[in-house]
Amino acid sequence: MKKSALILILISMVIYTCISQDKKTVAENPFLVEFDTPFQVPPYDIIDTTHFIPAFEAGIEESKSIINAIINNEEEPRFENTIIPLDKGGEILQRAVVFYSLNSANTNPTLQKIARELNPMMSAYRNEISLNQDLFQKIKTVYENRENEDLDKEQLRVVEKYYRDFERNGAALPEEKREELKKINTKLSMLSLEFGENLLAETNDFKLIIENKEDVEGLPEGVIFGAAEAAKQNDMEGKWVFTLNKPSWIPFLTYSPKRELREKIYKAYYHRGDNNNENDNKDIVAEMAKLRDQRAKLLGYGNYAEYVIDNNMAKTPENVYDFLQQVWDPAIEVAKNERDEMQQMIDDEGGSFKLQSWDWWYYSEKLRKQKFDLDEEELKPYFSLDNVREGIFYVSNQLYGLQFEERTDIPVYHEEVKAYEVKEADGSHLAILLIDSYPRPGKRGGAWCGAIRSGSYKDGEKVYPVVYIVTNFTRPTGDQPALLTFDETSTFFHEFGHALHNFFADGHYKRTSRDVPRDYVELPSQIMEHWAAEPEVLKAYAKHYETGEAIPDELIEKIKKSGHFNQGFATAEYVAASLLDLDWHTISNTENIDVNKFEADAMNDIGLIDEIIPRYRSTYFSHIFAGGYSAGYYVYLWAEQLDSDAFNAFKESGDLYNQELAAKFRKYCLAENGMGDGMEQYLKFRGSEPTIDALLEKRGLK
């Protein structure tokens, strides 16, 4: 089929008339045409929930027509007539996937209902494409003849990646096994959705309601005010409400002297999905572990972790276990010392109890104040959300020359979302950035960054990305702006690192644009965290929200001296969760799994102390059961080897804003990241492989 025929098919699909809800016509559905908005940001102000299903249906049909055109083309399969349309096609779906970002950041019962309808539809569509034998044979032919075409290095890599994608997704399996794989994929898709919905419901359902003023004594003023505001919103004026959102429960655990209330809120937190109610996740976890194991074995792997990690820098689960053990051994010893210090404090105060997990935040904060004369509340006035954001923009400008202009003419999906145009040093357009900062009932917990539209090329012209950062930071209270803890400040810098990766990724094809192994993807985010704590950088952005004065040297010194404080706990709880994740995905017996027993046995095997639980227990471990980190939660620590070593390059140069190094990092580690394997790209920047030493030193474990 000639290119002109293919174009005709694409044009016909744009005017494709789908069966729409409530008699809405194609012309009324904004997803069926290019967005007529500044920078083609989704027109949130006119998007209606009734648009989504028809848009996905039309998008699937458009995509199928492209696949059929490839299959029915009688010419010899080549890069131009097979890989290019496969890579570039499907524009309606590319617009409609905005649904998924909305369902995470601003969901409601209607969107959740749509998600339950979309999941099996999209799972069936993905199966139909990835297991299509005629399409696979076309791709295989291009792959086998790739050296005979005049392809550049990037094009060769695209061919190899597409071939490997189809192979890993089961296209080479016999028909009977392909059918079995389809069923497993669909089940897993629905279970993952259900897990996330259950977790959101569990998080939203719990409220610690305090009626007596003495029960909020000891808490910072801003925390008390926020709890009173939460009570007002729940028609409980005169009371205080604490929730399972991090800006609520963590300050309560950190400052409340009421031990029985700390226990109540913490147990509610770590029992999410484990309450034997309609939102219980134990059966889902067991079923997903079983199905993933079956899926991996169908594809020729010993277990699901082998399947996942084979595509990562680490290559094998054994390498990951060995790596984590090297960190676990020193971390748990430091954690035991931290526990003993806190127990001694309890004993010295006349406490007649053993330190428990719900005590750790409270006594570690007291110990930090005692050791370093540092109180988190003393720091927060210097880290207003606005100042931290401007600090991030400042660092990005100093490193890469980026400029940020707030725009009020760009549609946003919620009134609290701020929109920015990102420009290069020469003033040319680079990206649109949306920032969504505060918790609300329709937003899942945590912080994340994604792309509503990834950067790409169309007809040789650059298509610029639309990127979003979502966080759950403490809201402004009264006349006081949103004030961040230093941990939240680091989180903001972290997510902005992901945003930079999205801004700069510059592959000409989907499979070479921001396409990196999972254990590489945290390098761009985690390296940004280093700048947040540097004295030179702190002086530039950490300014008191009332006086405008820069953070004093004595506070910077306290931050520096306390940098390794509580790192035994922080590292041990993280590594414990990473090992739990690996254990779930190297499981040998998937019949009749007792989820809590499996988890307890896994933690006993590594020697996790009673006073610490893994950062995520199985029933609310959304990274691995409702996200993309299954058999891959270890990646944050793996990437920390890279980011610690990479930041040392700037330190060694004597210039934190070394623009020559920044340009090199941008080129090899961000823009061209899809052009080679993770370590291959890193070596182009650094010249040598990192060792674990920089990581251990950074965390004070060596």
Cα(334)–Cα(328) distance, rounded to whole angstroms? 10
- Spell out, as residue ranges, where the chain has pLDDT lower than 50: 1-26
Q: What is the pLDDT of residue 172?
A: 94
Q: What are phi and psi of 19, to 5 degrees?
A: -75, 110
Q: Where are the domains of the chain?
A: 3-130+132-172, 206-270, 282-374+567-633, 381-561+636-698
Residue entry with tokens 């082998």: 306
Residue 515 is predicted with a pLDDT of 83
Active site residue 495: yes
| Encoded amino acid at 613, one letter | I
Does domain 282-374+567-633 fall into CATH 2.60.15.10? no
Query: Nearest Cα to 523, choosing from 311, 305, 312?
Result: 312
Nearest to 236 by CA among 208, 204, 269, 196: 208
In this structure, are residues 442 and 107 in contact, taking their beta carbons and an 8 Å threshold? Answer: yes
CB-based contacts of 514, cutoff 8 Å, min separation 6: 451, 454, 455, 501, 502, 505, 507, 673, 674
* 589 Cβ contact partners less than 8 Å away, ≥ 6 residues apart: none
In angstroms, rounded to a whole number, what is the distance separating the alpha carbons of residues 42 and 31? 8
Secondary structure (3-state) at 452: strand
pLDDT attached to residue 12: 41
Secondary structure of residue 503 in the 3-state scheme: helix
Q: Do 282-374+567-633 and 381-561+636-698 have matching folds? A: yes
| Domain 381-561+636-698 falls under CATH 1.10.1370.40 | yes
| Residue 448 to residue 673: CA distance in whole angstroms | 20
- Any idea what DSSP says for residue 215? G
The predicted-structure confidence for 300-317, as pLDDT tens digits, reads as follows 999 999 999 999 999 999
Strands 429-436 and 466-470, how do they pair? parallel
Other CB atoms within a 10 A radius of the CB of residue 319 amount to 14
pLDDT of residue 298: 97
| pTM assigned to the model | 0.90
Pairing of strands 418-423, 403-407: antiparallel
Q: How far apart are CA 422 and CA 593, in angstroms?
A: 50
Q: What is the token pair recorded at 522?
A: 């945290």
Classify residue 251 as exposed, middle or buried by CB count within 10 Å of its CB (0-12, 13-18, 19+).
buried
For 602-617, b where at least 16 C-beta lie within 10 A, e where not — what string? bbeebebbebbbbbbb
Of 57, 202, 365, 495, which is the active-site residue?
495
What is the phi/psi pair of residue 453, to 5°?
Answer: -140, 125
CATH architecture of 3-130+132-172: Orthogonal Bundle (1.10)
Residue 180 makes CB contacts below 8 A (sequence gap 6+) with: 298
Residues in the chain: 702
Buried b (16+ CB within 10 A) or exposed e, 516-534: bbbbbbbbbbbbbbbbbbb
